[in-house]
Amino acid sequence: MIVAAYVLVGVVAAIHVYILILEMFLWTTPRGRAAFGTTPDFAAQSRTLAANQGLYNGFLAAGLIWGLLGRDPAVLTFFLACVLTAGLYGAATVSRRILYVQAAPAALALILVLLS
């Protein structure tokens, strides 16, 4: 596989580790609230839900890291497709910003993996 594909998959994995941290541990902090545009009350009320979302983002990152370590294009393709799907759904239902932060990097990484 070409180096650029590995690098971009690593970036996508890092983004999802960061999202996990924001959603599981920083959700009610000023940094977490700023990242997602929430109020202190909403953040407090939705803390458990956000932690659940963070866990799912962690699973996406773990799958990508597993694919990188095993140099397995099939695993990478599957998890990048999952990230892309989640990003497209999030962009359509929550915020267009998700299209750029999550879906676009996953799409580019997926293209590079498939081309290599």
Instruction: Read off the pLDDT of residues 3-48 as tens digits, 9 standing for 90 and up.
Output: 999 999 999 999 999 999 999 999 999 999 999 999 999 999 999 9
With a pLDDT cut of 90, the percent of the chain lying above it is 97
What is the extent of the structural domain holding 82?
Answer: 3-115
Among candidates 72, 94, 80, 82, which has minimal Cα distance to 11?
80
Terminal CA-CA length for the chain: 5
pLDDT of residue 79: 98
Torsion sign across C-alpha atoms 92, 95, 96, 100 = negative
* pTM for the model: 0.91
**Cβ partners under 8 Å of residue 78, min gap 6:** 63, 67
Domain count, the chain: 1
- Please report where in the chains the tokens 């545009």 appear, as a residue: 37
